Amino acid sequence: MRKWLMVLAAAVVASCTSIDCPVNSLVLTQYQFTSSDGQVLTLLDTLTVAMTRKDGKDTLFNKGSQISTFYLPISYSHPEDELVFHFDGDSLHRTDTLWVKKDDYPHFESVDCNANFFHKLTAIRCTHNLLDSVAIHNPSVTNDEKVIHVYIYPKTDD
Amino acid sequence: MATSTQAQMKFFTLQKDSVALFRGFAVSFDLAGAGMLMLSDYGQYEAALRVNLHDEWFPIVEAGLGKATHDDDVTRLYYSTSAPYFKIGIDKNMLRDKHGPNRLYLGVRYGFTSYKIDIARPNFVDPVWQWDTGFGLHDVACKYHWAEILIGIDVKIFGPLHLGWSVRYKQRLAHSEDGDWGKPWYVPGFGTYDSKLGATFNVIIDI
């Protein structure tokens, strides 16, 4: 009988509710500088990214240098995000703008976890001062931080 | 090996005596699920019809209405669903004295529900981009299949009235949800999505 009571007690403890939210709830877009032949490039200059927020511009990614990949926030439900890339080096000061179009999907884990959105990138384009082009590598933007979503191809002479 | 096979055969055969095979029906109502529904954000009204075969085997059908309405104070997420569910299974009386007033059951169930959920949140401001944002899913269709194993007791109080308790281990078998939006929080009849344990407290009447 004592053994059965211990089993029952263990079952009751195990049945207690727990909050089960994902460890990583951030939904970010990952960009990677890539050469036309698929090699990962490291940016020697400094990169600052600004965006067009509802209340004006603000800096998202401030003065990254010696980087090849980086994360940027993606808006919850705005149909197109506008990102302004400032490249600054010793003798180089150039600016390019990226426009990222996407579809947004509410994502639900539990009533205990904050409301979140996943996204599907549908189109991306850019100006061509330092950048040659941009391309969607993986359109599905979730809380999986390992995925590279966008390839950025700089001009080869820069 | 021969001993093991004989033991299995003994488990599945009826005890030999002069008692008739068909011993009647019993209906039962689960007070634990109804109590949960009154005291918390989710629960169920459940009734069952059980056939008594020789006081030893008890095929059973359980049906109920599972409901959840949760409005979270912290995340401000609202979750609502209400749907019927059905379970079919069988219990075996494990007591040596099969025809006594009390029973100890070991049983299995297969459960199924088809339900729709609503999830909503008041509009809020995107914390990074500052755009006003709405969040909601309406009438999302879902299906859920599960299995249960249970241990239960049934105690005769007087006349046709019995009281019974059961503890159940639940295992999801299959599920489907329309769209790629995440996973349900509460499933009618099963409980919260990843729950494993459940319990019932039944009022049982022999008919």
Domain that holds residue A120: 27-154
Average pLDDT, chain A: 86
Query: Which of A111, A153, A131 lies closest to B71, judged by CA?
Result: A111
Q: Which of A1, A18, A108 to mutate to test the interface with B (most CBs of B within 10 A)?
A: A108
Pairing mode of beta strands A93-107, B132-158:
unpaired
The pLDDT assigned to B15 comes to 67
Which pLDDT score is estimated for A65? 87
Q: What is the pLDDT of residue B62?
A: 98
Q: Which residues of A touch B165 (CB under 8 A)?
A: none
Q: Which residue of A has its CA nearest to B186?
A: A110
pLDDT recorded at residue A61: 81
Q: Is residue A3 in a domain?
A: no
Distance from CA of A77 to the nearest CA of B (A): 6
pLDDT at residue B14 in the model: 67
Give the model confidence (pLDDT) of A91-131 as tens digits.
Answer: 789 999 999 999 999 999 999 999 899 999 999 999 999 99
pLDDT digits (tens, 9 = 90+) for B186-205: 999 999 988 899 999 999 99
Cα gap A76→A55, rounded to integer Å: 16
pLDDT digits (tens, 9 = 90+) for B69-117: 999 999 999 999 999 999 999 999 999 888 889 999 999 999 999 999 9
The number of distinct structural domains making up chain A is 1
DSSP 3-state of B184: coil
Chain B (85-114) residues lying within 8 Å, Cβ to Cβ, of chain A: none
Please answer yes or no on whether B72 and A112 come within 8 Å at the CB atom: yes
Burial B54-71 (b: 16+ CB within 10 A, else e): bbbbbebebebbbbbebe
Is the predicted pLDDT of residue A2 greater than 80, yes or no?
Answer: no
Angle, vertex CA A152, rays to CA A147 and CA A158, nearest 5: 145
pLDDT of residue A27: 93
Establish if A50 belongs to a structural domain.
yes
Question: Which tokens is B56 given?
Answer: 């030893």
Considering only the beta carbons, identify the residue of A73, A111, A115 that sits closest to B128: A73
d(CA B76, CA A65): 40
Q: What's the CA gap between B144 and B148, in Å, rounded?
A: 13
B127-154 residue pLDDT tens: 888 889 999 999 999 999 999 999 999 9
Tokens 């959920």 — which residue? B117
| CB-CB contact of A105 with A120 (8 Å) | yes
In the structure encoding, which two tokens stand for residue B3, read together?
């001993």
Within-domain flag for A95: yes
Tens digit of pLDDT for each residue in B11-63? 666 667 777 888 899 999 999 999 999 999 999 999 999 999 989 999 999 99
3-state SS, A38-92, equals CCECCEEEEEEEEEEECCEEEEEEEEEEEECEEEEECCCCCCEEEEEEEEECCCC
Closest CA to A154 of A65, A76, A42, A73: A42
Specify if A5 maps to a domain: no
User: From CA A98, how far away is CA A84, in angstroms rounded?
Assistant: 6
Looking at this protein, which amino acid is placed at residue B65? L
Averaged pLDDT of chain B: 91
Q: Is B6 left (phi over 0), alpha (psi -120 to 50) or beta?
A: alpha
Whether the CB-CB separation of B142 and B115 falls below 8 Å is answered with yes
| Structure-token pair, residue A130 | 């330092």
CA pseudo-torsion sign A91, A148, A109, A112: negative
Q: What is the CATH number of domain B22-67+83-111+143-206?
A: 2.40.160
C-alpha–C-alpha distance, residues B90 and B58, integer Å: 5
- Could you tell me if residue A127 is inside a domain? yes
Q: Which of A152, A113, A141, A158 has the alpha carbon at shortest distance from A35?
A: A152
Answer whether residue A3 shows pLDDT above 70.
no
Stretch 94-153 of chain A: residues touching chain B, C-beta under 8 Å:
105-115, 117-118
Task: Give a yes or no: residue A11 inside a domain.
Answer: no
Dihedral angle sign, alpha carbons of residues B181, B186, B187, B193: positive
Q: Is the CB of residue B130 less than 8 Å from the CB of residue A53? A: yes
> According to the model, what pLDDT value does residue B154 have?
94
> Residue A6: inside a domain, yes or no?
no
Predicted confidence (pLDDT) per residue in B150-178, tens digit: 999 999 999 999 999 999 999 999 999 98
Record the tokens describing residue A100, joined without a space. 């990222």
Q: Residue B177: phi, psi to the nearest 5? A: -135, 140
Largest CA distance in chain B: 79
CB contact under 8 A, A78 and B126: yes
Residue ranges per domain, chain B?
22-67+83-111+143-206
The tens digit of pLDDT for each residue in A141-150 reads 999 999 999 9
**Which amino acid belongs to residue B83?**
A
Model confidence over A66-77: pLDDT tens digits?
899 999 999 998
* Local confidence band at B121 (pLDDT 50, 70, 90 cut-offs): very high
Is A78 touching B (CB cutoff 8 A)? yes
Rg (CA), chain A: 22
In this prediction, residue A1 carries a pLDDT of: 47
Using the beta-carbon criterion (under 8 Å), do B167 and A109 form an inter-chain contact?
no
Tokens of A25: 């709830």
Residue that the structure tokens 């494993």 belong to: B196
**Long-range contact list for B45-49, CB < 8 A, 24+ apart?**
B46/B189, B46/B200, B48/B202, B49/B25
The answer as to whether A21 is a domain residue is no
* Mean pLDDT, residues A31-40: 93
Q: What is the pLDDT of residue A13?
A: 46
In sequence order, the 6+-apart residues with CB closer than 8 A to the CB of B180 are A105, A118
